[in-house]
Amino acid sequence: MKHQELLTQMTLEEKAAILSGKTVWQTREVERLGIPAIFLSDGPHGIRKQAGTGDHLGLNASLPATCFPTAATIANSWNEELGEEIGRALGEEAASQRVNVLLGPGLNIKRSPLCGRNFEYFSEDPYLAGKMAASYIRGIQSQGIYACPKHFAVNSQELRRMAMNAVIDERTLREIYLTGFEIAVKEGNARSIMTSYNEINGVYANENKHLLHDILRKEWGFDGFVVTDWGASNDHAKGIAAGSNLEMPAPGLDSARELLKAIDEGNLTVGELDRCVDELLDAVLTLNKNMEGKPKYFNEKAHHDLARKAALESAVLLKNEDKILPLRSKTKVAIVGDFAVRPRYQGAGSSMVNPTFVESIEKVADQYDLQVIGVNEGYRRSGEKDEAMKKATLDLVINAEVVLYFFGLDEISESEGLDRTHMRIPQNQIELLEAIVQVNPNVVGIISAGSSVEMPWHYSLKAILHGYLNGQAGAGAILDILTGKVNPSGRLNETYPVKHEDTPAFRHYPSTERNSEYRESIFVGYRYYDTSKVRVQYPFGYGLSYTTFDYSDLEINEKEVKFTLTNSGTADGAEVAQLYVGLPNGKVFRPAKELKGFKKVFLRACESIRISIPFDDKTFRYWNVKTNQWEIEGGEYELMVGACVADIRLVGTIHRDGTTDDFPYSKKQMPLYYSGLIQKVEDGEFACLLGYSPASGKWSGDLDINDAICQMYYAKSPVARMIYNRLTAMKKKSEDRGKPDLNILFIYNMPFRAIAKMTGGAVSMDMVRGMVKVVNGHFFKGIKQIVAGYFTNSRLNRAYEKKLKGK
């Protein structure tokens, strides 16, 4: 072990205690031995260090920091260098605020557009997500700070996120949900990683040996430390045995006692505990050393400018009829929409940054060569109709040459702890748009939303510029693009389906019971739409430019594809060339196309460049569930180069020899998987995919400590049902107000055990068991256990504290 000398000096109590947090954000120090603490903070697109009272949901104010565009936005840039630059800035800001570990980036796969946290994640495609995450990680870690990619793994829904079991086959797990993390670990060299709340095939991510030991540490060679999501620890001893290191936030000393008990009872060895402490010590000592001499400030202006550059590269031009954009000099514009005045530039929850400065369209518009004839909020963000506002807007737009209409999703639609129930933009915004078009057809729509939306109204708009959630400097970036100062170069990181019903997991998302069945398998996002020929609104990888690009002269050799890219238009601009691979009529079912490489290049008008996209270990592989390893199927592969998944410009083939003849599936038994039409996979075919029939996962009987608070709906105790009703009413009230109440959402979705894990030692697991007895109708038995547990817990806490102080 690396820190054997320190380990020898530490008592068993100290070792057990150091493996869980002391406060919401800090680990425990061991003063006697000079072992310091480390500070962990969100988040993915800006530092959220709470200087005062800590809470993990972003409720209390944090120190000002640059709010960069969210991951979903930056993923549209397809620019790894940009990701690294943002990472460096994040690392620098973290260091200036004495944050050692930055809790991000988030790279869960966008299984369904409804997931409330999609705005925090990069893509529906693991290759793009992994490459972008790795670039952030390299940047962050270049500053001596550890990045912490999250949430490992298969954390695709917010509803009951802590009481949810992902039922998924090994191939889908590997190819879709783990490949991004694999790239983040191997190419980004992530030094820490956060386990997710959910179970995977019946085992909590944080206790999952297959995930943490076999795959993460053994296969990928990860040698950093693993931290739980806040409150994600179920059984700390099982977590440690599986390869996790640190339980967060502050469970008090109950979790440490669990470890000592597990050692006493032979369920955990001292060797396992030591290994785990050693890995954490390594991080603690390295991180503290790295922090020495770091400046306590950062260049706010330079980072604001970087946030703008990032927003510029990430906005996606979806439509541009009659070349209405870029706007000509001195165009008479009417600016309409609440979002132009109060921008939505980030989502709600633990990722929420307190920005150093926020631009709004209203405030920066006069810096451009436009004649702004008026700015009008137009509609109420809360969704209520307002005829007076509508009339004022129509009176304004009638006199404009072009109307700039700012609209999008409201706060409640994109939040941690809450999934959307539909993909629509609030109706009052659309009604106003339709009324505007009646008096002035020259409308350019600018969307603020961190994930995909239905666009039945797209006909009404001449142009659509999608800004996503573009950070504190987003407004200037949007105007730079609208006026042609900058040529748009963002390409969609996700598909825009025509309607929610078309999405691959439509029938199974979100799960209504504990089990969430991943029946769509590997057919996530474009892998489904493209293979099954389902018409979409805007395909994966899509985005327009003010110029055009030609692809020519494809050359394929053993190592790469090469081709020439020419800017054939009149404006300078950047293109994202994408490489997709397919194997028509393969023995193993697979998507028609899979992204295997990309390159973003800037070209002056008329300029050409020869591009090479090299193959890597992922280009031809698939996970074979029979041989239980990555294999290559022999055959003639199609290599497709294009501007998006639906716009392939060059096609060639290459032969690959197979690595095995042991194929796992039968076409006869799995017709839907072989056709890609996976929306209606029935039990039998899903069982073939899994290799077993999954248990129903339907809840029955008494509630237990791992059931979610919102399941008190089933409680036998009338008091518990009353509490459930009260919570539900409070949740609804906040939804109606349009502002997520994160506290309520967290409590609603959390399991009973989290009461012990999140209360800094005030409540023990034994007391929680008592509470659950009360909920199940055993009032007196439960109360007795709570009271007795309270006294025992206080006594044991005091005794443990004494030992830690060496008394």
Q: What does the binding site for ligand BGC look like in residue numbers (CB under 6 A)?
A: 42, 56, 103, 150, 229-230, 350
Tokens of 30: 């061991």
Q: Shortest gap between Cβ of 80 and ligand BGC (angstroms)?
A: 23
Nearer to ligand BGC by C-beta: 350 or 793?
A: 350
- Pick the closer one to ligand BGC by CB: 350 or 393: 350
Cβ burial of 715 (10 Å; 0-12, 13-18, 19+) is: buried
d(CA 282, CA 289) in angstroms, rounded, equals 11
Cβ(334)–Cβ(397) below 8 Å: yes
Element of type H or E holding 743:
helix 742-749
CB nearer ligand BGC, residue 49 or residue 500:
49
Tokens standing for residue 511: 């799960």
State which residue, 92 or 229, has the beta carbon closest to ligand BGC: 229
CA distances from 343 to 24, 121, 502 (A): 30, 20, 30
> Vertex 243, ends 237 and 245: CA angle to 5°?
70
Q: How near is the Cβ of 154 to ligand BGC at its closest, in Å?
A: 14
Q: Smallest gap, in angstroms, from Cβ of residue 62 to ligand BGC?
A: 11
Decide whether 172 or 192 has the Cβ nearer to ligand BGC: 192
Q: Which is nearer to ligand BGC, 24 or 280 (CB)?
A: 24
Minimum distance from residue 185 beta carbon to ligand BGC (Å): 18
Length of the chain: 807
- By beta-carbon proximity to ligand BGC, the closer residue of 229 and 338 is 229
Q: Minimum distance between the CB of residue 151 and ligand BGC, rounded to whole angstroms?
A: 6
Question: If DSSP codes are grouped into helix, strand and coil, which group holds residue 415?
Answer: strand
Select 21 or 543, whichever has its Cβ closest to ligand BGC: 21
CB of 91 to ligand BGC, least distance (A): 17
Question: Nearest distance from residue 592's CB to ligand BGC, in Å?
Answer: 34
As measured in angstroms, the least distance from the Cβ of 23 to ligand BGC is: 12
Identify which of 302, 309, 303 has the alpha carbon closest to the alpha carbon of residue 477: 309
CA distance to 320, 446, 481, per residue, from 464 (Å): 7, 6, 12
| DSSP letter string, 190-249 | -SEEEE-SSEETTEEGGG-HIIIIIIIIIIT---SEEEE-TT--S-HHHHHHHT--BB-S
CB of 55 to ligand BGC, least distance (A): 8
Least distance between ligand BGC and beta carbon 230 (Å):
4
The neighbour count for residue 300, using CB atoms within 10 Å, is 14
CA proximity to 352, closest of 735, 54, 48, 24: 48
In one-letter notation, the amino acid at residue 572 is: D
Give the C-alpha separation, 447 to 429, whole Å.
11
Q: What are phi and psi of 361, to 5 degrees?
A: -60, -45
Asked whether 91 and 145 are in contact (CB, 8 A), the reply is: yes
Q: Which of 3, 22, 5 is nearest to 800 (CA)?
A: 22
Alpha-carbon gap, residue 614 to 34, rounded angstroms: 49
Distance (Å) of CA 124 to CA 130, 180, 291, 496, 616: 11, 10, 36, 11, 20
Identify which of residues 161 and 304 has a Cβ nearer to ligand BGC in the complex. Answer: 161
Q: Classify strands 573-582 and 629-632 as parallel, antiparallel or unpaired.
A: unpaired
Q: How many angstroms from the chain centroid is the CA of residue 530?
A: 23
Separation between Cα atoms, residue 481 and residue 465, nearest integer Å: 9
Cα distance between residue 297 and residue 383, in whole Å: 41
Axis crossing angle, helix 742-749 with helix 718-737, rounded to the nearest 10: 140
741 is catalytic: no
Q: Which of 229, 254, 278, 410 is catalytic?
A: 229
Helix (H) or strand (E) holding 538: strand 536-538
What phi and psi values does residue 165 have, to the nearest 5 degrees?
A: -115, 115
* Least spacing, CB of residue 287 vs ligand BGC, in Å: 17
Antiparallel, parallel or unpaired: β 573-582 and 594-603: antiparallel
Q: Given 3-state DSSP classes, what are the helix, strand and coil percentages for the chain, each rounded to the nearest 5? A: 40, 20, 45
State which residue, 411 or 431, has the beta carbon closest to ligand BGC.
411
CB 122 within 8 A of CB 82: no
- Strand residue runs (E) in 720-763: none
CB nearer ligand BGC, residue 42 or residue 125:
42
Min. distance of Cβ 42 from ligand BGC in angstroms? 5
Residue with tokens 């339907």: 698
Q: Tell which residue, 229, 762, 171, has the closest CA to residue 771.
A: 762
Provide the minimum distance between the beta carbon of 742 and ligand BGC in the complex, in angstroms, as a whole number. 9
Residue keyed to tokens 């996979």: 681
Q: Can you tell me the distance from the alpha carbon of 550 to that of 7, in angstroms, rounded to the nearest whole number? A: 62
Q: Which is nearer to ligand BGC, 49 or 344 (CB)?
A: 49
User: Are 577 and 565 in contact, with CB atoms under 8 Å apart?
Assistant: yes
Nearer to ligand BGC (CB atom), residue 56 or residue 257: 56
Element spanning 644, H or E: strand 635-644
Rounded Cα gap, residues 20 and 23, in angstroms: 9
Residue whose pair of structure tokens reads 């540490």 in the numeric block = 217
Residues noted as catalytic? 229
